[in-house]
C-alpha cells in the first residue's frame, strides 16, 4: 500500500521495462539492478526549457500522449476550456516562429502545440477568470509528460495573438494562451535558477520565515 501523500513510483526507463518483461523469471533480479525509480519531483527538478532540437520527427502516438496529459488536467469547475492545434508542417511552423517575435527555434521544433482557451467556457477562480490558470495546468502537464517521454519543450509566451489567429483560422472568441514547442533535445537544460525556499515560504502568517 502507498503511504498517504506519497506518490506511486514509476520506472524511468522503458528499455528497463522491456528487459523486465522479456526475461520473465529474472524479474526480481532485473528490477533490483536495472530499474531505478523517478518521482514526479525528480522530473520537475530535471526538466528545463529546450530551445535546440534534433531534426527528428516525434511519432504521432507520442504526441498524442502529450495531448492526453493536457486532456486529463484539472480545471476550475471541470470546465476544460481548452482547445489545441498540433502543428507539424514546416512552413506553418516557420510562420509561427515569425509570429513569435522571430524566435527561430519555434520553426525548428518537431511540433508546435498551439494552446487555446474559450473564456466563455471558463469558471471564475476567486476574482480571476479561470481560463489562464486552467490552460497553465494543462500546458505544464504537457511539458512534464513530454520530458518523461524524452521530448523537450519550451513554453512560448512572446507572440502576436492576431498573427497566430490569422495563420491558423482560429475563431474570434478563442484566445491564444501559449505556444509550446516540442522536439527531441539537442542541448542540456540550463542550470535551474530559482528563489530559495526562504524567499518564498512563510509559516502560519505572512512574514514569518523559518531560519
Ligand X SMILES: Cc1cc2nc3c(=O)[nH]c(=O)nc-3n(C[C@H](O)[C@H](O)[C@H](O)COP(=O)(O)O)c2cc1C
Part of the chain binding ligand X (CB under 6 A), chosen from 28-36, 109-117, 155-163, 203-211: 155-163
| Cell numbers placing 131 | 481560463
Residue from 70, 114, 138, 156 in contact with ligand X (CB under 6 A): 156
3-state secondary structure 125-149: ECCEECHHHHHHHHHHHHHHHHHHC
Q: Which of 19, 94, 155, 167 binds ligand X (CB under 6 A)?
A: 155
Residues 16-55 that bind ligand X (CB under 6 A): 48-49, 51
Minimal CA–CA distance to 12: which of 45, 34, 32, 29?
34
Binding residue for ligand X (CB under 6 A) from 60, 104, 190, 198? 190
Backbone angles phi, psi at 54, to 5 degrees: -70, 150
- Report yes or no: 105 and 121 within 8 Å, Cβ to Cβ: no
Find the shortest distance in angstroms from Cβ 120 to ligand X: 22
Instruction: For 25-37, give the DSSP string.
Output: GGHHHHHHHH--E
Instruction: Write each residue from 83 to 112 as x if it is in contact with ligand X (CB under 6 A), else as -, in one continuous string.
Output: --------------------x---------
| Contact positions vs ligand X (CB under 6 A) | 48-49, 51, 103, 154-158, 189-190, 192
Amino acid at each position: 500500500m502507498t503511504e498517504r501523500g506519497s506518490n506511486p513510483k514509476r520506472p524511468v526507463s522503458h528499455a528497463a521495462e522491456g528487459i523486465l518483461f522479456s526475461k520473465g523469471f529474472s524479474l526480481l533480479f532485473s528490477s533490483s539492478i536495472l530499474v531505478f525509480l523517478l518521482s514526479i519531483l525528480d522530473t520537475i527538478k530535471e526538466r528545463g526549457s529546450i530551445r535546440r532540437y534534433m531534426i527528428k520527427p516525434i511519432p504521432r502516438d507520442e504526441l498524442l500522449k502529450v495531448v492526453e496529459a493536457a486532456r486529463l488536467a484539472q480545471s476550475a469547475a471541470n470546465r476544460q476550456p481548452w482547445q489545441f492545434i498540433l502543428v507539424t508542417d514546416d512552413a506553418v511552423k516557420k510562420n509561427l516562429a515569425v509570429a513569435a517575435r522571430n524566435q527561430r527555434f519555434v520553426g525548428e521544433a518537431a511540433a508546435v502545440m498551439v494552446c487555446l482557451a474559450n473564456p466563455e467556457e471558463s469558471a471564475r477562480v476567486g476574482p480571476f477568470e479561470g481560463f489562464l490558470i486552467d490552460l497553465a495546468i494543462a500546458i505544464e502537464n504537457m511539458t512534464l509528460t513530454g520530458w518523461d517521454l524524452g521530448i523537450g519543450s519550451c513554453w512560448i509566451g512572446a507572440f502576436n495573438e492576431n498573427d497566430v489567429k490569422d495563420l491558423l483560422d482560429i475563431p474570434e472568441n478563442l484566445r491564444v494562451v501559449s505556444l509550446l514547442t516540442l522536439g527531441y533535445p539537442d542541448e542540456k537544460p540550463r542550470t535551474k535558477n530559482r528563489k530559495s525556499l526562504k524567499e518564498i515560504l512563510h509559516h502560519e502568517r505572512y512574514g514569518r520565515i523559518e531560519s
